Amino acid sequence: MIIDTHIHLDDKSYVDDLDDVIERAQTQEVKGALIPGADPKDLPRAVEICEKYDNIFFAVGVHPYHATDLDIEYLKSFASHPKCIAVGECGLDYYRLPEGEEAKIAEKQMQKEVFIAQIELAIELDKPLIIHIRDASFDSKTILIENDAKKVGGVLHCYNASDILLELDSHGFYFGIGGVLTFKNAKKLVEVLPKIPLEKILLETDGPYLTPHPHRGKRNEPAYTKLVLSKISELLNINEDRLELMINKNTNSLFKEFS
Ligand SMILES: [Zn+2]
């Protein structure tokens, strides 16, 4: 059994054929999924999906691109739902910063405050974090450590495969590996992968984005999680079935709700 621990099934690109998407996932052994929060407007849709399908869960949170939309009370109103199992995806993304030095500093400051508020929410709710990091490894690591994110732990997703983040292993963090690993230019992630403890690897797609080879350019979907598993198995030279069992165990130790 494979769990896609990061898939935006609430995205509008899945509205028309979600039943087929779920069915295709099942045929590829992908039997569960976690929908991270990104745009708070999509939360009602995530709840709707989770109420319809077994073994699909969601998280409450705002992606750094939607940081200005943070409303903690709104997130809390969804957090008591039995299928809400995590907080995020929250974090720092310095890839698309505004022009001008002052504007850059203000944007970073705002993202940091919103990130910290969500770490505090996770601790209050006692739920693990889903962390988005892009071009902001050092600041993200510092914030996670200074704000005691260790109390709840979580998964690092979309990290730039930076050695800086490996240290977070000892702070209760798992590493979500996705389709980027199959890209021809995934040199950094390929280098970092063997340094990640095996018991800390999770699988994800981040669909509808970052579609793995050979489907690059098309919409990503949970069925492709299997391609990521195969690539890890090839790179680490571990039998795929054995690896699947190991990762399954990892997934369940962080997200106990999956059956
Ligand atoms: Zn995402």
C-alpha 246 to ligand 1 mean position (Å):
23
Q: What is the pLDDT of residues 216-251, one digit of tens each?
A: 999 999 999 999 999 999 999 999 999 999 999 999
98 vs 259, more confident = 98
Torsion of CA 112, 118, 119, 120, to 10 degrees: 110
Question: What's residue 259's pLDDT?
Answer: 85
C-alpha 80 to ligand 1 mean position (Å):
22
C-alpha 100 to ligand 1 mean position (Å):
27
**What's this model's pTM, rounded to 2 decimal places?**
0.96
pLDDT at residue 257 above 90? yes
Mean pLDDT of the chain: 96
Of the pLDDT bands very low, low, confident and very high (cuts 50, 70, 90), residue 159 is: low
C-alpha 180 to ligand 1 mean position (Å):
13
C-alpha 88 to ligand 1 mean position (Å):
9
Q: What is the pLDDT of residues 30-70, one digit of tens each?
A: 999 999 999 999 999 999 999 999 999 999 999 999 999 99
Q: What is the pLDDT of residues 177-189, one digit of tens each?
A: 999 999 988 889 9
C-alpha 221 to ligand 1 mean position (Å):
12
C-alpha 6 to ligand 1 mean position (Å):
6
C-alpha 243 to ligand 1 mean position (Å):
24
C-alpha 175 to ligand 1 mean position (Å):
14
Of the pLDDT bands very low, low, confident and very high (cuts 50, 70, 90), residue 161 is: confident
C-alpha 90 to ligand 1 mean position (Å):
9
C-alpha 197 to ligand 1 mean position (Å):
23
Question: What's residue 158's pLDDT?
Answer: 67
Peptide bond between residue 208 and the one before it cis (omega within 30 degrees of 0)? yes
Domain ranges of the chain: 2-254
Strand order in the sheet with 154-157: 2-4, 30-35, 56-60, 84-93, 129-134, 154-157, 173-177, 201-203
pLDDT at residue 256 above 80? yes
- CATH 3.40.640.10 at 2-254, yes or no: no
Average pLDDT over residues 107-114: 98
pLDDT at residue 160 above 80? no
Reduced 3-state DSSP string for the chain = CEEECCCCCCCHHHCCCHHHHHHHHHHCCEEEEEECCCCHHHHHHHHHHHHHCCCEEEEECCCHHHHHHCCHHHHHHHHCCCCEEEEEEEEEECCCCCCCHHHHHHHHHHHHHHHHHHHHHHHHHCCCEEEEEECCHHHHHHHHHHCCHHHCCEEEECCCCCHHHHHHHHHCEEEEECHHHHCCCCHHHHHHHHHCCHHHEEECCCCCCCCCCCCCCCCCCHHHHHHHHHHHHHHHCCCHHHHHHHHHHHHHHHCCCCC
C-alpha 9 to ligand 1 mean position (Å):
10
